[in-house]
Chain A
Amino acid sequence: MSTSNTAREAFRDIGTAIAAVWWGFFDWLALVSWKSLVLIWVLVLILGGVLHRPLTALILIVVSAIIKIIAGGKRRADLTASEATRRAEMEQLERTAVEARMQALQAQVEPHFLFNTLASIDQLIQTDPPRASKMQQSLIRYLRSAMPQMREGSRPTLGQQVNLCTAFLEIMAVRMEDRLRPVVNVPEGLKSAVFPSMMLQTLVENAIKHGLEPKTDGGRLEIGAAIVDGQLTVHVQDTGVGFLPRGEGGVGLANIRDRLKALYRDRAELIIGVPATGGTCATIKVPYEIAPVST
């Protein structure tokens, strides 16, 4: 029983090998140019003459000519099919980008954040009016820099994203007091670089929500940017409780990864690093590109 099984398997392997050789030949014929094929035919004819087998040579030539015509058709069909697949993939990517933009719009201003901030301002108006005014200005700046991103077409810059996050951090620093110590370290020269919207904001929110808020005495949050190997590298580092490998969250991060893929294919990435000093360091790398000056 097992011997016959082994024999059958051996035959199947041989069959597979023959088929592989045949399809290899077929593909080669499909790809080879007519010019080189004609050259090969001449060589075959000469060889046939030398070996006194002109008929065999002629049959070989005719058969290969027929296969070449058929194979050419198959090749064209393959090309059309792969072109269609490529187009479908592009459409899929565009859909992902549009969906991501919709989600970004919805997530833009979280009601909980807005109402908590307004409640804090309400309290400060009574106890510390100058600080109330400052906090309200931060809120206005936050809302204003969040708004243009809702318009389609304009390419967001790193500067816009950093302004949005700075205003957000100012508000959160008033609310969390010394439990949040923000540091923004972005060179002026990089602020005109193109950077996708709502990604930095997500990283900052994550760092506060999952890193610093669970820690009783809070910690430091740093936004930094640099050009590394021709890529714009933006990081958000916190000294919080650290990243949990089983956390059920990660929707925001998955969203960033999907959007980076849709926008840049393989030329961008999101890296979650674990600094030796503790906490979490999230880094986004995108191709460095200056935004066209808008008028």
Chain B
Amino acid sequence: MCEGKLSEDVRIVERREIPANAKMIHGLPDVGLVGVIAVSQIISQLKMVEVAYVDSDLIPPIIVLHDGLPHSPIRIFGQDDLLVLISEIAIPAGSLQPLMRAIVDWMDEKSVETAISLGGIATPNRQNIESPKVFGAGSNELSLKILREKEINIMKRGFLVGSQALILHYCAEKDITAIALLAQSFYNYPDPEAAAAVISALNQIVKVPVNVSELLEKGEEVRLRMRDIMRRTQSELVRMRKSQEYDIPHYYVA
């Protein structure tokens, strides 16, 4: 095992060799758990294996048991040159900044070529939307160029709050090409349809052979399974003032 000296508070412990120039997909708990549902599907359908995990005093003293063995709730899975970050717990709002900074530092160290974070954009009339639209935002000109080429609607103005906001911000500082994809979603209900929409958009950028119809078919099961993590995520969303994403920007500063 090798250990990065990225941050005093957050350690990323590697269990396998990490390929250079990989693409990394992020799925952390947020509105509608869109990112978590999407990357769970990717990890299980591609049968990806754990390549690294996050160890930090900034997250609650919790482990997740899988087949009787302890695992960190925040892990990185890999297959060939694809890496996937997932969290099985709601991340405390106050820990998000040091945690995301450490993850972006680690991506920089591993020369990650592109980071794509998947998530949702809470839409009050979500129930009346049959097929959720997907919007994108980027960390640099290259990421915007990719979005334009793939004809993904760019979020031009407005606020982003949470892990996706931080990934874009820290990646912009280091000039890492990062893209946030956000599907219209419920605020506090797990949204498998939004997850399917975001996977379809992801597929235009990085080919991930995942069958979204399977996800849609077991939508009810996903919603039931995700109930508890959604509940806990919701209280963190309140703490991070997620509702500011609804706010209309006050002044035009280009």
Q: Does chain A bind chain B? A: no
